[in-house]
Amino acid sequence: MPLAMNVYGTDRRLLKALDLKSYAEISERIGGLLKPELPHGFVGVREAFGKLGAMTHVPPRKVKDAPVQEVVLRGDDVDLEQLPALFTWPKDGGSFFNLGLTHTKDPESGVRNLGLYRLQRHDKRTIGMHWQIHKDSRNHYQVAARRGERLPVAIAFGCPPAVTYASTAPLPGDIDEYLFAGFVQGKRIEMVDCKTVPLQVPAQAEVVLEGWLEPGEMLPEGPYGDHTGFYTPQEPFPALTIDCVTMRKRPLLQSIVVGRPPTEDGPLGRATERFFLPLLKIIVPDIVDYHLPESGGFHNCAIVSIDKKYPKHAQKVMHAIWGAHMMSLTKLIVVVDSDCDVHDLHEVSWRALGNTDYARDLTVVEGPVDHLDHASYQQFWGGKAGIDATRKWPEEGTRATAAGPTWSSPTRTRPPWSTAAGRSTGCDLGLRRPPAAAGTHKGVPAPGDDRALGLRPALRLHRRPHRDVRVGREHPLGPAAPGHRRHGRPAHLRDGRQPDHRPRDRRP
Ligand SMILES: Cc1cc2nc3c(=O)[nH]c(=O)nc-3n(C[C@H](O)[C@H](O)[C@H](O)COP(=O)(O)O)c2cc1C
């Protein structure tokens, strides 16, 4: 069976798959849904999803015939060895299916869950369900086990992109991922009843595995080279026996490589960061913007900007985030003022490193951490820190001089387009803001946009013919001759060629 990999490996590809121009499109649509009458807090988030259910183009639609049921294999005809599984890292404990979307149902409330969890192939008919301690399907399993019941499970591969994305989204347990997927996709997802379990799966999927999970049936799972960049050690996880496989006549399996970031799942994390901003604002209205650096696996660190309104406002925001659903696992929160671009890590570190007295501005707490966290000295909980990098107020203990607090007048100028005054003087100087559509966190760079190459606006500014305005790095070849401007990278750096450092007379 052929295997498709790296399908969502770039922002451009994920946006194309979701039929979006930028991640901001969805945040704006969610923002529109939330305004103006919804209450704040989790109640507001729930009511927003209630509104989704009422939209005619959003809820999933049941169909009778499905491509994914063209072939049905039962009992001993099931052979998972026929499906391509990944053996990725040398010390992995076996082969894994990494992009199988797990469907379960709460045995008491009947609310369904969709989650992406890796699945270890133990043998021809058994897989290990690596749902971690904080995850919704694990909760369903716990409820079933408490009631002494077995849990029906269906795993779908090759689902519509919006469904795949939704399976990774940190939605509260009682919110249906299929409503969210329909909203993102802009049309209803077609669902079909499974053959042997009381669950529904996407009709357009490629392959579906069905089975019943017996309470207490566990097998060692792992080790596995994980998102942390380390191997997670072996642990017991529920082992599911597959009773039935349904698939298309010519199926295509999908998988994804997991490892130390950056990896293929980066775009999925960035989509979540942008899509969830309006929802996070409903829970913590103080937040202006936030950034979850990919290097922190999207869950270890949050950089948050606020419009500071009172002393210790930053500390209030930290505690609110540590109380907000999956954001509670955040190990480091950096709070900055709203004039700081949270996506500009240089600007953020300038503030976090310099604007801080750590006896006053560092908050250390204990709380839950990610299941996979390798650094905490207990599994599942550990220490977290918050850094208040906002401007401090006199009430917070700034050192006063006759001219005001010692650090209140920074010498560093901000890009001219970031302030109203700068926008007019910037225009006078011929400095213009780069086109808005193309910021890496706001959308995908247009073809030929040099920000796709990682060039920062400061460097773009320097290319403009105002040689007396020194902003950003020097051009590698030095200033241009009078009347000339430098165009792009110097010739010897274009086309990936390396500079030749030999003296001219020794060059070939
Ligand atoms: C490539 C990839 C692999 C993942 N593997 C796992 C995993 O093995 N176990 C797990 O609990 N979460 C895993 N996750 C994270 C979950 O998909 C994510 O937390 C999701 O919100 C879980 O759904 P739930 O909140 O409905 O439980 C993975 C995410 C990605 C993008």
CA 311–ligand 1 middle distance (angstroms): 38
The CB density around residue 403, as the number of other CB atoms within 10 Å, is: 8
The CB density around residue 48, as the number of other CB atoms within 10 Å, is: 18
DSSP annotation of 401 = E
C-beta of residue 324 within 8 angstroms of C-beta of residue 285: no
CA 139–ligand 1 middle distance (angstroms): 14
The token pair at 451 is 């920000």
Percent of the chain with pLDDT over 70: 81
- Residue 462: which of 424, 489, 435 has the closest Cα? 489
Nearest CA to ligand 1 atom 4: 117
Substitution site in 133, 163, 168 for ligand 1 pocket (most atoms within 8 Å of beta carbon): 168
Mean pLDDT of 13-27: 96
Residue 116: burial class (beta carbons within 10 Å; 0-12, 13-18, 19+): buried
C-beta of residue 202 within 8 angstroms of C-beta of residue 189: yes
Q: Is the pLDDT of residue 460 over 50?
A: no
Looking at mean pLDDT, say which of 30-44, 178-192, 426-440, 493-507 comes out highest. Answer: 178-192
Name, in order, each residue with C-beta under 8 angstroms of 157's C-beta and a sequence gap of 6 or more.
97, 99, 100, 101, 205, 206, 207, 208, 251, 253, 254
The token pair at 192 is 């079909």
Distances (CA, A) of 370 to 12, 72, 243, 339, 381: 29, 38, 32, 31, 8
Comparing 54 with 21, the larger pLDDT belongs to: 21
Per-residue pLDDT tens for 179-198? 999 999 999 999 999 999 99
Nearest CA to ligand 1 atom 7: 117
Distances (CA, A) of 494 to 42, 191, 460, 475, 502: 51, 50, 16, 14, 18
pLDDT category of residue 485 using cuts at 50, 70 and 90: low
| pLDDT for position 53 | 77
Does residue 176's CB lie within 6 angstroms of at least one atom of ligand 1? no
C-beta of residue 118 within 8 angstroms of C-beta of residue 258: yes
CA 115–ligand 1 middle distance (angstroms): 6
235-244, 335-344, 426-435, 481-490: segment of lowest average pLDDT: 426-435
Query: Does residue 262 have a cis bond before it (omega within 30 degrees)?
Result: yes
Does residue 443's CB lie within 6 angstroms of at least one atom of ligand 1? no
Per-residue pLDDT tens for 112-153? 999 999 999 999 999 999 999 999 999 999 999 999 999 999
Does residue 265's CB lie within 6 angstroms of at least one atom of ligand 1? yes
Does residue 130's CB lie within 6 angstroms of at least one atom of ligand 1? yes
User: CA end-to-end span of the chain, whole Å?
Assistant: 52
Does residue 241's CB lie within 6 angstroms of at least one atom of ligand 1? no
- Nearest-10 Cα torsion for 201, 204, 205, 211: 30
Does residue 298's CB lie within 6 angstroms of at least one atom of ligand 1? no
CA 449–ligand 1 middle distance (angstroms): 33
| Angular region, 362: left φ>0, alpha ψ -120 to 50, beta rest | beta
Does residue 136's CB lie within 6 angstroms of at least one atom of ligand 1? yes
Mean pLDDT of all residues in the chain?
86
The CB density around residue 42, as the number of other CB atoms within 10 Å, is: 15
Cα–Cα distance for residue pair 435/449, rounded to 1 Å: 10
The ligand 1 atom nearest the CA atom of 115: 23
Mutual angle of helices 266-275 and 11-18, in 10-degree steps:
60
Comparing 243 with 414, the larger pLDDT belongs to: 243
Nearest CA to ligand 1 atom 13: 117
Substitution site in 116, 121, 300 for ligand 1 pocket (most atoms within 8 Å of beta carbon): 116
Does residue 304's CB lie within 6 angstroms of at least one atom of ligand 1? no
Domains of the chain by range and CATH?
3-254 (2.30.110.10), 284-397 (3.40.1670.10), 436-496 (no CATH)
DSSP annotation of 276 = T
Which residue among the candidates 136, 176, 226, 370 is catalytic per the annotation?
226
C-beta of residue 500 within 8 angstroms of C-beta of residue 465: no
| pLDDT for position 401 | 84
Does residue 170's CB lie within 6 angstroms of at least one atom of ligand 1? yes
The identity of residue 197, as a single letter, is: V
Percent of the chain with pLDDT over 90: 72
The CB density around residue 189, as the number of other CB atoms within 10 Å, is: 23
Does residue 135's CB lie within 6 angstroms of at least one atom of ligand 1? yes
Name, in order, each residue with C-beta under 8 angstroms of 304's C-beta and a sequence gap of 6 or more.
287, 289, 290, 317, 321, 333, 334, 335, 336, 342
The token pair at 373 is 């966290």
CA 15–ligand 1 middle distance (angstroms): 20
Looking at mean pLDDT, say which of 50-59, 238-247, 391-400 comes out highest. Answer: 238-247
52-66, 90-104, 289-303, 363-377: segment of lowest average pLDDT: 52-66
Q: Is the pLDDT of residue 430 over 60?
A: no
The ligand 1 atom nearest the CA atom of 138: 27
Per-residue pLDDT tens for 353-405? 999 999 999 999 999 999 999 999 999 999 999 999 999 998 998 888 887 78
Q: Is 344 a catalytic residue?
A: no
The ligand 1 atom nearest the CA atom of 118: 8
Cα–Cα distance for residue pair 136/175, rounded to 1 Å: 11
| pLDDT for position 327 | 97
Residue 29: burial class (beta carbons within 10 Å; 0-12, 13-18, 19+): middle
